[in-house]
Amino acid sequence: MLRVGLTGGLGSGKSTAAALFAAHGAHVLSADEIGRDLMEPGQAVFAAIAGHFGAGVVGSDGRLDRKALARIAFEDRRVGELNAIVHPAVIAREAELADGIFSRDPKAVLIVESALIFETQHGDGWRERFDKLILVRASEATRIARFVARASGGTTLTETAREALEAEARRRLANQIDDDRKAPFCDYAIANDGTLEELAAQVDALWPEVVRTAKT
């Protein structure tokens, strides 16, 4: 068995890298997807967020208004309060799912994709949670451009709208540790400023080493 943390900042392309590893046979857990599930109505995390931040973060459909919540978290600098609610629950769920995977396949390679492996102050430290760490890197300009493209959904943006999204990206990046500080603690690094084919080639080259490590 091997527990791998796959991390990278906003827009680095870690989700794409995770999908490429999954194609090789890795079991992948997405911290973002787990968090979204736990923030659905009826979940304890949903109730805790609504209770802490107020009715303004709940939409007319009874679900969390994610834009309103993000605005409070990032613009009002209350990310730490939100993370204190979400992170422990996500880490506990990751551990639960990991136990199930390893019970079925003791030699499994499990990759947990998460932007905030180093940033979280909740749960066991990253040294206890992971055997290996992979960092997906990209320049800040590339990461901001990817965030804007994803947020715009392919629509044409006015200059004002583009500037607002770029500012939002920078606010989010400010809450993440710089890659240069993360790199010394990571076992592998993947550069992702290029094409999908270039990223895939790096994953293809790294996968045999990851598998070899899992078998030792």
Q: What is the CATH number of the domain that holds 77?
A: 3.40.50.300
Opening angle at CA 200, ends 194 and 5, nearest 5: 100
Q: What is the pLDDT of residue 174?
A: 86
Express each pLDDT in 168-200 by its tens digit.
899 889 888 899 999 999 999 999 999 999 999
CA 153 to CA 158: how far, in whole Å? 14
Whether the pLDDT of residue 124 is over 80: the answer is no
Residue-range definition of the domain harbouring residue 71:
2-215
Is 60 exceeded by the pLDDT of residue 89?
A: yes
Look at phi and psi of residue 123 and say left if phi exceeds 0, alpha if psi is from -120 to 50, else beta. left
The pair phi, psi for residue 177, each rounded to 5°, is -70, 140
The amino acid present at 179, given as its one-letter code, is D
Q: How many domains does the chain have?
A: 1
In sequence order, what are the beta bridge partners of 3? 110
- Whether pTM > 0.75 for this model: the answer is yes
